């Protein structure tokens, strides 16, 4: 998930007019915030499945406030971090911290909500992004079959 979050951050930096030449790889164009956010969402949805956990319902949307793109992205970053921590604890790679961190299903649901809130703020159609992802995957598999 962190790779996709970094790709999303790169796209958002460019959209804000930042010079990203020191971060760019000419052999690997990363240019679509929608595609990268869909990748994040796919990873977020995969964690409960891999942990054999039942998904949780989405939390209620936050009241409309003054959050802009940066705040929405930071909320996504935080919720994905909580999900990663929950998964690490589940698999025994992290101790149980003090307090009550969310479960994998709850953390995943919060990250989904944060991703969809960011998508709405960026006016991205995540369903269209997923359809494009499926088309790309199918084309990749077709080309792979013809090169064997």
Q: What is the pLDDT of residues 131-147, one digit of tens each?
A: 999 999 999 999 986 76
What value does the mean pLDDT of the chain take? 91
Angle formed by the axes of helices 69-90 and 104-122, nearest 10°:
160
Q: Which two tokens stand for residue 95?
A: 């101790």
pLDDT at 66: 84
pLDDT at 100: 83
pLDDT at 126: 93
Q: What CA–CA distances, in Å, run from 53 to 48, 56, 71, 96, 114?
A: 5, 9, 29, 18, 20
Residue from 102, 84, 95 nearest 46 by CA: 84
Exposed, middle or buried, 36 (CB in 10 Å: 0-12/13-18/19+)?
buried
pLDDT at 104: 94
pLDDT at 148: 60
pLDDT at 147: 60
Low-confidence ranges of the chain (pLDDT < 70): 145, 147-148
Q: What is the largest CA-CA distance in the chain?
A: 54
Regarding pTM above 0.85, the answer is: yes
pLDDT at 65: 78
């Amino acid at each position: 998930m962190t790779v996709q979050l970094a790709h999303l951050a790169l796209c958002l930096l460019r959209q804000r007019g930042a010079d990203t030449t020191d971060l760019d790889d000419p052999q690997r164009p990363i240019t679509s915030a929608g595609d990268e956010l869909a990748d994040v969402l796919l990873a977020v949805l995969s964690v409960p499945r891999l942990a054999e956990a039942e998904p949780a319902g989405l939390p209620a949307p936050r009241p409309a406030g003054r959050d802009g793109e940066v705040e929405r992205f930071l909320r996504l970053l935080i919720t994905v971090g909580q999900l990663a921590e929950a998964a690490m604890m589940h698999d025994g790679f992290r101790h149980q911290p003090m307090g009550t961190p969310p479960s994998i299903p709850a953390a995943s649901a919060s990250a989904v909500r944060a991703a969809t809130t960011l998508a709405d703020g960026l006016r991205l159609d995540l369903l269209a992004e997923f359809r494009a992802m499926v088309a790309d995957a199918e084309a990749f598999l077709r080309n792979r079959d013809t090169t064997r």
